[in-house]
Amino acid sequence: MDLESLIAELHSWGMLALSYLTAPWFAYQVAIIAVLFGVAKVLSLRVEPRLEARAREIKGHPGLLRVVVALLRRTEWILFSLFLFIALTVMRAVTWPSRSHFIAIALSLSLAWLFVAVLSRVIRNRLVARTLSWLAWIYVALVILGFDDEAGSFLDSMALPLGEVRLSLLLILKAVLLLIATIWVAVILGRYFDEQVQKSEELTPSIRVLIGKVAKFGLILVAGMIALSSVGIDLSAFTVFTGAVGLGLGFGLQKVISNFISGIIILLDKSIKPGDTISLEGTFGWIRELRARFVSVVTRDGREYLIPNEDFITNRVVNWSFSDELVRLDVNFGVSYDADPHEVSKLAIEAAMTVGRVEDSRRPVCWLTGFGDSSLDFVLRFWIRDPQQGLTNVRGKVLLALWDTFKENNVGIPYPHREIIMKKDPEGGTVDPARSEIGTLDPD
């Protein structure tokens, strides 16, 4: 459609609209529509709060509650559509159908807006939901008014040729809308499939995460290809363009791609999985989630570290629960030389067994490791199954149990003493601190 034909078409539309607007019954219909909308608005202010309060009593069905609340938020449009239907029925029964034509159009537009507004509430993103609802309603309004073919021809005339591809505004609009719809459906299906995979007990946690991520990415990719192919876009025409863009993105997003590939390697070799307790460069915690770019690690103090996947490939990682949940801890202590080392070992083992987190199936051991300057040195070794609950706290409880046990059995824990010998000056003067001798006093 060229510019002259478009101007002529608009002129004919304008003359037709002017003749229709100057008709007496048009003003009557506008007045009826305005009054009915005002009445519906006033009634909705009283009816909507009561109905929504009763709808909030729905328990156990969040999806149904969301749709019901979204429907109740449009109470004025429901009442307005109902009043328009009653008015249209009455006017067609008592007068000519042409005198209620505008009311019929208003009823169709009202019902279309009500349907689109409620249906868009299933989209959680408010901006996307509003944009799609307005675009859908505009399209339905053009169809109702009979202007869809003319609007389509106008949008199609605004085109830019790119080689063998003719890129028009209509094509772009169709592609964007269809792409958003297909990707939204793909995300919902991917999320549902991921939830079902996570419930499977036959698969390891790492494999469940890998399958879920591959399914989401694959569904989104297929949805994009289907959307572009459905609007008539030849994907082979974008081969060179996508190759150049992919090369640029590869250099610009090198770290992102490296972390993504590292995440796939981690999931395949099962080196770490959700729930594992790990240590990495001074960070000690347990893995909460494996993401495409990073691993979420929660520490004992409640901090959540987002560590890039690449660090788990290139750095040394201590996985406390890789092949076995059992973890051995050491506690070093010393006792007086007056104590019997055999008795001390026995008391230390009994004290460790009194701590709840110490594993009973792997009996603790206590060994004499050396004869120190002022004490007999021992190491107490015990096992726990829950390192994610902390290591310092269980060591502290074991040390407190050793203290109580040694105190009850009169086992002394020595500490170093120092002896200072003060000598007088040979001429009988005052004490010379510089010539004093400092020695270690035997604790015995």
Cα distance between residue 230 and residue 157, in whole Å: 20
Tens of pLDDT, residue by residue over 179-210, are 777 777 787 788 888 778 777 776 666 677 77
Tens of pLDDT, residue by residue over 222-235, are 877 777 676 666 66
Q: Give the dihedral sign, CA 358/360/362/366.
A: positive
The answer for residues whose C-beta is within 8 angstroms of residue 177's C-beta and 6 or more apart is: 132, 135
Grouping H, G, I as helix, E, B as strand and the rest as coil, residue 279 is strand
Does residue 302 register a pLDDT over 70? Answer: yes
pLDDT of residue 379: 94
Does residue 32 register a pLDDT over 90? Answer: no
Q: For residue 321, count other CB atoms closer than 10 A to its CB.
A: 20
pLDDT of residue 169: 67
Cα distance between residue 151 and residue 118, in whole Å: 26
The answer for residues whose C-beta is within 8 angstroms of residue 235's C-beta and 6 or more apart is: 225, 228, 229
The answer for residues whose C-beta is within 8 angstroms of residue 54's C-beta and 6 or more apart is: none
Angle CA(292)–CA(294)–CA(298) in degrees, nearest 5?
130
pLDDT category of residue 256 using cuts at 50, 70 and 90: confident
Work out the widest C-alpha separation in the chain, in whole angstroms: 140
User: Two tokens at 349?
Assistant: 């083992």
Cα distance between residue 271 and residue 54, in whole Å: 52
Tens of pLDDT, residue by residue over 265-285, are 877 777 888 878 888 877 888
Which range, of 205-219, 222-236, 287-301, averages the lowest pLDDT? 222-236
Q: For residue 273, count other CB atoms closer than 10 A to its CB.
A: 19
What is the layout of strands, in order, in the sheet containing 365-371?
327-335, 376-384, 365-371
Q: What is the mean pLDDT of residues 290-310?
A: 83
Cut 0.85: pTM above it:
no
Q: What is the mean pLDDT of residues 78-102?
A: 81
Output 421 or 307, whichever has higher pLDDT.
Answer: 307
The angle, 0 to 180 degrees and rounded to 10, between the axes of the packed helices 205-230 and 169-198 is: 160
User: Two tokens at 196?
Assistant: 């079902």
Does residue 368 register a pLDDT over 70? Answer: yes
Output 137 or 318, whichever has higher pLDDT.
Answer: 318
Cα distance between residue 330 and residue 367, in whole Å: 11
- Report the Cα 303 to chain-centroid distance in Å: 17
Grouping H, G, I as helix, E, B as strand and the rest as coil, residue 147 is coil
pLDDT category of residue 438 using cuts at 50, 70 and 90: very low
